[in-house]
């Protein structure tokens, strides 16, 4: 049997972690707050009940999560829509001052499928950059697409505006080089893949008529399956990319569960807990062939 068949090693060719490391974990927080509702329902700006539900993130969730991260002695990445930064400037500055990474998450949490053209996507990107600079003096190197919605043109836009990584594509367990176009020699950035199953929105979030089924999962169940994924990815040498929202996972028992998960990650031998930008900086040093994404052709009738 040929032991060199590539599928026998879970790691892509050329990929390795730093010496002494066998896998990595990123704990990330998307501070969507009001923006994720207002983009689809601007009329909700007049609904105090819904706005208070979203404000739980910056008002209560972020401080609680900062305490968790401080107790555990780890740094995280916070993806911040520009609108959130402008509405909650003191909160965003508190994240920055606690030593965590701040990255880009749109301006008003705009999904790519609502953009009629790439110029619209670029305007949103620039407006988000201006807000983070104005509020926190931060120039982010990372981007996460709101709703995980990406257009094929976005990687090139990110590279053109100096971003070094994206986090949100779902085709890999390991970070990789993301080509910005099909032509040879096209610039590339780093991709840090994510997945819906490692996003707290689906199991926990419920706003009547707006999102969720009304079935709210127990943190005990959610943390159990995230722990299984953490352990499985650690065994495969992959990247555990967890996406939480302060208005969702900043709730008391969910934050307790998250802290237990962080403790589990710290207890696994050789698992590197790092910010997204730290992971991306490592991946930039590797001899990886960029992955080119192109739309599949549709069959003719």
- CB nearer to Zn ion: pick between 23 and 115: 115
Indicate which single residue of 12, 26, 27, 32 sits in contact with Zn ion (rule: CB under 5 A). 32
- Closest among 145, 140, 146 to 38, alpha carbons compared: 146
From 11-19, 27-35, 185-193, 293-301, span contacting Zn ion (CB under 5 A): 27-35
- CB nearer to Zn ion: pick between 170 and 232: 170
117-144 per-residue burial string, b: 16 or more CB within 10 A, e: under 16: eeeebbebbebbbebbeebbebebbbbb
- CB nearer to Zn ion: pick between 168 and 238: 168
**Cα 184 from chain centre:** 29
From 29-37, 164-172, 190-198, 283-291, span contacting Zn ion (CB under 5 A): 29-37
- CB nearer to Zn ion: pick between 179 and 191: 191
Least distance from Zn ion to the Cβ atom of residue 30, Å: 4
Residues 163-222 touching Zn ion, rule: CB under 5 A, are none
Q: How far apart are CA 17 and CA 271, in angstroms?
A: 10
Q: How far apart are CA 242 and CA 195, in angstroms?
A: 8
Under 8 Å between Cβ of 190 and 196: no
| 184 phi/psi in degrees, rounded to 5 | -60, 140
- CB nearer to Zn ion: pick between 30 and 200: 30
The radius of gyration of the chain from alpha carbons, rounded to an integer in Å, stands at 19
Least distance from Zn ion to the Cβ atom of residue 35, Å: 8
From 19-27, 52-60, 146-154, 193-201, span contacting Zn ion (CB under 5 A): 146-154
From 26-34, 129-137, 173-181, 261-269, span contacting Zn ion (CB under 5 A): 26-34
Which residue is it, tokens 């709730």? 251
3-state secondary structure 214-280: CCCCCHHHHHHHHHHHHHHHHHCCCEEEEEECHHHHCCHHHHHHHHHHHHHHHHCCCEEECCHHHHH
Count of residues engaged in binding Zn ion, rule: CB under 5 A: 3
- CB nearer to Zn ion: pick between 104 and 177: 104
Indicate which single residue of 26, 30, 131, 192 sits in contact with Zn ion (rule: CB under 5 A). 30
Site residues for Zn ion per CB under 5 A = 30, 32, 146
């Amino acid at each position: 049997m040929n032991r060199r068949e590539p599928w026998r090693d879970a790691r892509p060719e050329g990929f390795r972690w730093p010496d002494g490391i066998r896998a990595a974990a990123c704990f990330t927080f998307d501070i969507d707050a009001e923006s994720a509702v207002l983009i689809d329902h601007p009329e909700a700006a007049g609904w105090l009940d819904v706005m208070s539900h979203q404000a739980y993130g910056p008002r209560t969730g972020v401080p609680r999560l900062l305490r968790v991260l401080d107790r555990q002695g780890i740094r995280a990445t916070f993806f911040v829509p520009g609108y959130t930064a402008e509405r909650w400037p003191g909160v965003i500055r508190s994240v920055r001052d606690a030593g965590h990474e701040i990255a880009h998450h749109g301006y008003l949490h705009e999904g790519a499928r609502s953009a009629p053209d790439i110029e619209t996507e670029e305007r949103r990107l620039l407006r988000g950059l201006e807000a983070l600079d104005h509020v926190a003096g931060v120039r982010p190197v990372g981007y996460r697409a709101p709703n995980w919605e990406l257009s094929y043109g976005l990687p090139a836009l990110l590279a053109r505006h100096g971003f070094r990584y994206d986090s949100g594509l779902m085709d890999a367990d390991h970070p990789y080089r993301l080509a910005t176009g099909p032509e040879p020699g096209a610039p590339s950035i780093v991709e840090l893949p994510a997945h819906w199953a490692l996003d707290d929105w689906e199991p926990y979030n419920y706003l009547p008529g707006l999102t969720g089924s009304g079935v709210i999962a127990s943190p005990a169940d959610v943390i159990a399956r995230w722990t299984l994924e953490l352990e499985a990815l650690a065994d495969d040498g992959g990247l555990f990319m967890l996406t939480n929202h302060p208005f969702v996972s900043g709730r008391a028992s969910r934050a307790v569960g998250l802290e237990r998960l962080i403790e589990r990650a710290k207890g696994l031998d050789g698992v590197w807990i790092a910010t997204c930008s730290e992971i991306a900086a490592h991946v930039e040093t590797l001899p990886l062939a960029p992955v080119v994404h192109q739309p599949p052709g549709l069959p003719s009738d």
